[in-house]
Amino acid sequence: MTVGIIGAGQLGRMMALAGYPLGLDFRFLDRSTDTPGGQVAPLLAGDFTDRRLLRRLARGASVVTFDWENVPVEPLRALADKVEFAPPLAALAAAQDRLSEKRLFERLGVPTNRFAPVEGERDLAGAFARIGPGVLKTRRLGYDGKGQFRVRSRADLAPALAALGGAPLLYEEFVPFDCEVSVIGARSTRGEIAVYPLNGNVHVDGILRLTRAPWGTPALARAAARHLARVLEHFRYTGVLTIEFFVRGGRLIANEMAPRVHNSGHWTIEGAETSQFENHLRAILGMPLGSTRPRGHAAMVNLIGELPARAAALGEPGLHWHDYGKSPRPGRKIGHCTLVEATAARRDRRVRALLPRLAPGVRVPFPRTG
C-alpha cells in the first residue's frame, strides 16, 4: 500500500519511518527538493497547486495525507473523486483560518478565549476596548509564534497593525496561563478513537522547546480528550488531530488545532506503546488503532538552530536522538531528543540537567508538573 504525503518535512519523514515496519510505501510532494522526507522516500518536487503533480502523487496511492496543513484546498477538492484525502479537507480548511477555528470551538462548546476579526484600525480599536490586552494574529499562515503581535496597551495598536496589516487578522484575549498543554488523538476510518495522555508544553519565543507527558490531573486529561473527541466526531475525522490549550486556574482554554501529527507528540515514538505517526497511518488506512498507553514518563526537547554535540548526548543513557537531516538556521527545528524514565521526578531531574546542553543559551521555563 502506498501513502501520498503532501509536505516532506520532519513530520512526513517520521511518518514514513513509522510506516515501513507496517509494510507501507510512501511518496512525497513538496516545493523544495532538499527535504527531510525526500531523504527517506521518493519525492515529487513542485507547487502544491500543480494539478499534474497532485495527480501523480495520488496515482496508485491508497490515501493522500499531509505533513503541513496550509496547502491550498481548492486544487485538492478537484481531485477528491480520484483519491481519498485524510484528514478530511473540511478539517484542513477550518484549521487554516484562526477565525473559523475559534468559531468552530465556540460552536462545539470547546472553551476558548475571547476574539474578534479585524480588518482595520476601527475594528482593532473596538476589539481592544471590549477584550483588553491581547494578541493580534494573522488569520492564515501563522506558525511558531510568527505573524503575531502582543498588544499590552492602546499605544501598541498602531504598531501592531503596521507590523501585520494588509492580511486578514484576528484579535484575541491575552491569557496569563499557568501552563500550556496539548491533546493528541486519532479517529480511524472505522470510527474508533484513541487519545494519548496530555502533553505539558513550554514555548520560548513562540516555538515549542520542551514537552513532558503524561501531564496534568486525570480530570484535566479527560476534559481535553472530550473536547478532542467532539471535534473528531464533528468532521467524521480520520487520522491524528491535535488541540493546544492554555490552562488557567485548572480550566482549559483552546488556543488552536492542528489537523496532523504534532511536535508535542514526538515523545510517543519511544514513550508510548504506539507512536502518533503509526496511529495516524493505522487510522487513515482503516487498521485497528494501537494502544496509546505511555511506557513511562517522557520528556522531549526540541533541537533548534544548531545541533548540540551528538556524541555527548548519545553518551546519556536512555537519550533518543532524532536528526531531521536539515541544514542549521537560527530558529529552525532541526531535531529533537527524548528521554523516558520510570518516574516523573527522575525524568524532571535528568532533563533539567540536560537542558543547558540541548538548548544552550536559552532559559527554558520549567513549570511544576500540573
User: Edge-to-edge, what's the strand order for the sheet holding 115-118?
Assistant: 115-118, 169-173, 134-138, 148-151
User: Residue 130 in 3-state DSSP?
Assistant: helix
DSSP 228-295: HHHHHHHTT--EEEEEEEEEETTEEEEEEEESS--GGGTTHHHHBSS-HHHHHHHHHTTPPPPP--BS
Alpha carbon distance 198, 214 (integer Å): 5
Interface with ligand AMP, residue 114, by CB under 6 A: no
Q: Which is nearer to ligand AMP, 142 or 216 (CB)?
A: 142
Based on its alpha-carbon atoms, the radius of gyration of the chain, rounded to whole angstroms, reads 20
Total of chain residues touching ligand AMP, rule CB under 6 A: 13
CB 315 within 8 A of CB 49: no
Pick from 65, 96, 112, 113: which binds ligand AMP (CB under 6 A)? 113
Bridge partner residues of 253 (DSSP): 246
Residue 342: CB minimum distance to ligand AMP, A: 29
The reply on whether position 206 binds ligand AMP by CB under 6 A is yes
The one among 71, 135, 195, 261 contacting ligand AMP by CB under 6 A: 135
Closest approach of ligand AMP to the CB of residue 255, in Å? 5
Report the residue number, 290 or 305, with the smaller CB distance to ligand AMP.
305
Question: x/- binding map, residues 141-180, to ligand AMP, per CB under 6 A?
Answer: -x--x--------------------------x-xx----x
How far, CA to CA in Å, does 232 sit from each of 235, 238, 342? 6, 8, 32
Q: Which of residues 242-301 bind ligand AMP (CB under 6 A)?
A: 244, 255-256
Q: 175 to 204, contacts with ligand AMP by CB under 6 A? A: 175, 180, 203
Positions touching ligand AMP (CB under 6 A) are 113, 135, 142, 145, 172, 174-175, 180, 203, 206, 244, 255-256
